Structure 1
Amino acid sequence: MPAPKLWRIALAVPEAFAAAFAEAVGDHADAVSTFELEEHVTWLVEATVYGEPDRPRLTARVAVLAQALGIDDPVLVIEEVPPIDWVSHTYQAFPPIRAGRFFVHGSHHEGVVPAGTIGLQVDAATAFGTGEHGSTKGCLLALDRLSRRVRLGRGPGQGALDMGCGSGILAIAVAKTWRVPVVAVDIDPEAVRVTRENARINGVSHLLEAEGGDGYHTPVVRRRGPYRLITANILARPLARMAPLLARNLVPGGVAVLAGLLARQEQHVLQAHRAQGLRLIARIPMGEWTTLIVGR
């Protein structure tokens, strides 16, 4: 008997009602999840189920809930998920990426790292940062640009910090470019584990110190700081909130690379850092995302 086929159920709803609709469709599915599409506005409720769902019953349930909440019926998508060769799909989804002098590739890449580039081997895993996202690519372009004008060293106030390191791709890029010690911090223990493993794979374990903790309050950050270079690919609101702590950990003449913000959030983040005496050096737009370089 053939295995049942996989089906997808999806609908976009107001943020306030995402949980209610997730519960409504979740009763008809094997797995359900919600994702923010537009900050504070719209969320995607997405579910998967083996075997074709009861379309009339599901449509009716969504319509009744929408009426009870006083909103228009959301567009309900019910579609069969085509079978996928996941190994081939993963390889195709993460081809090598060029970002300035950086050449980001997965372990499946069979070619050579092009001459004159800095190879970064990072596989898609359980921590954010493989180079394909606009914010990560923008950070790599910023680091490439800064490598020609910023000098880092091994003494006090000469090193680098990667705040919210994710996969460690930015910390590794700094270590391989400047050959200096880098502190990498993330609140997620899994990100710390992935960063350490990626540092080993890329041959910079001796330069990279990855620790888990509460941002700038992490003991290793205080112990190794202040810094001449700070990278922070996080989100707009945390970036703005952490601006005073970033400024306190950045030496005079130091620079910071800020990312994880949409173009429309740029002024909010920039204003928070200007209030700390930092100025805009450059902006790097990547589609809907923007990377900012600020400094004293």
Structure 2
Amino acid sequence: MSDSWKLTLPCTRAEAEILKEDIAPFALMDPVPVLMTSEIEAARPDEWRLDIYFENEPEPQTIAMAMHLVPSAAGTEPEIVELEDRDWVAVSQQGLEPIHEGRFFVHTPIHRDEVPDRGLTFEIDAGQAFGTGHHETTAGCLAVLDGLKSRGRRYRNVADIGTGTGLLAFAALALWPNARGIASDIDPLAIEVAERNAAINTVRIGNGPGRLEMVVAAGLVHRRLRARAPYDLLIANILAGPLIDLARPFANAVSPGGTLILAGLLDRQAEDVIAAYRRQRFRRADRQNRGEWSILRLEKRRRVRGHRPASRA
């Protein structure tokens, strides 16, 4: 293997948290670069760094793409160094240990020999680090899904908005194999990655029972998402701001009595998100905390006589 290259940029803690979950701009590069974030000094908790490892010297357009990921690095000069021969993809995968959440086991290719005999197993490449299950929000969503299955909940029509690698949609269909599923993401590269992962994990593509349809869309702005509604289970692991903006569209898309799983929000943002959905006739059924993150399970109230439903967005 030839020598590798490292590109380093300063970033904020918030940017680092997002980069743990979403590297879509790089996901379809061949070979996929490895992204790592780290705190610089404990005394300066908001100052982090982004290191991107490439097998070849990064092109100017690749550097520009990296700069776009971290707005706070605007005006700084990226540090680019050539490294000694080393397989950084293997190094990163060794650092990502398999995730156990209830009946789920999520692993990278390097851990294939550790797959248990029982449970629901998914393989997600570490190079495609957004939505691998190693971020608190994704792992928390897996735990919520597992809990719903354990309580005997049944779902027939599932949507995963902001699907990333497709993992949460795969997990839902594995739990409820007769359900119809649809997954969307605003980034077409993410959908291409999710389609690859579906093939790796033998998830059937299509729009019938037990199959997953995938579309590129912002929020619910796609004819297929509208046509498939209402959903009795909708999952959205994105960010607090978009979740608040989507409260009314989600309310219109979820059936009365349906379940909404929301993630990607910090603990301090949770009450604002809950308030936005309470105004749309959702009640908080559960709230899990993972580090600084909250995962919400909301239930849509059933209509009662004399109640005037919210107007459609």
Superposition TM-score tier, normalisation by shorter sequence: 0.7 to 0.9
CA distance in structure 1 between the aligned counterparts of 2:136 and 2:77, rounded to whole angstroms? 24
Residue number among 126, 134, 137 corresponding to 2:136 in the alignment: 134
3-state DSSP of counterpart to 1:116:
coil
Q: Deviations over 1:197-224 (max 9, x none)?
A: 1112111224111111232121111111
Match of residue 172 from structure 1? 170
Measure, in 2, the Cα distance between the counterparts of 1:293 and 1:202.
26
Whether the 8 Å contact between 2:9 and 2:73 is mirrored in structure 1 is: no
Secondary structure at 1:285 match in 2:
strand
Q: Give the secondary-structure state (helix, strand or coil) at the position aligned to 2:130.
A: coil
Runs of 5+ consecutive residues of structure 2 not aligned to the other structure: 16-59, 206-210, 301-313
Letter aligned with residue 198 of structure 2: A
In the alignment, which of 263, 283, 286 is matched to residue 279 of structure 1? 283
Residues 127 and 191, structure 1, Cα contact 8 Å, conserved in 2:
no
* Structure-2 change in CA distance of 1:36 and 1:280 (3 Å): farther
**1:249-288 deviation per Cα after TM superposition (whole angstroms, max 9, x unaligned):** 1111110110000111101111110110100010111101
Quote the residue 2:81 is aligned against: 50
Q: Distance in 2 between matches of 1:115 and 1:98?
A: 13
Q: 1:227 to 1:127 in 2, by over 3 A?
A: farther
Distance 1:106 1:7, change over 3 A: closer
SS in structure 2 of the partner of residue 111 of structure 1: helix
Q: Deviations over 1:211-254 (max 9, x none)?
A: 11232121111111111100000000000000111111111111
Mark the runs of 5 or more structure 1 residues left unpaired by the alignment: 16-29, 52-80, 154-158
CA distance in structure 2 between the aligned counterparts of 1:167 and 1:82, rounded to whole angstroms: 31
**Counterpart contact for 1:11–1:46, Cα < 8 Å:** no
CA distance in 2, matches of 1:292, 1:284: 7
The alpha-carbon deviation at position 83 of structure 1 amounts to 7.1
Residue 151 of structure 1 aligns with which residue? Answer: 154
| 1:73-124 CA distance string (max 9 Å, x none) | xxxxxxxx88753133122122211112110012222324324321011113
Q: State the structure with more CA Rg.
A: 1
Residue 145 of structure 1 aligns to a residue whose secondary structure is: helix
**C-alpha contact (below 8 Å) 1:196/1:205 kept by paired residues:** no
TM-score with structure 1 length normalisation?
A: 0.73
Query: Helix, strand or coil for the counterpart of 1:215?
Result: coil
- Residues 10 and 73, structure 2, Cα contact 8 Å, conserved in 1: no
Percent identity over the alignment is: 38
1:24-78 CA deviation, whole Å, 9 max, x = no partner?
xxxxxx85737669xxxx7796722338xxxxxxxxxxxxxxxxxxxxxxxxxxx
Name the structure 1 match of 2:216.
212
My pick for the range that moved more, 113-122 or 207-216, is: 113-122
The SS at the match of 1:176 is helix
Measured after TM superposition, the shift of residue 8 of structure 1 is 4.8
In the TM superposition, 1:119-268 aligns within 5 A as 119-126=121-128, 128-149=130-151, 150-153=153-156, 159-179=157-177, 180-206=179-205, 207-268=211-272
Cα 1:136–1:240, aligned 2, differ >3 Å: closer, same or farther? Answer: same
Separation in 2, partners of 1:5, 1:252: 53
Which residue pairs with 1:102 in the alignment?
104
Q: Give the 3 Å change call, closer, same or farther, for CA 4–102 of structure 1 in structure 2.
A: closer
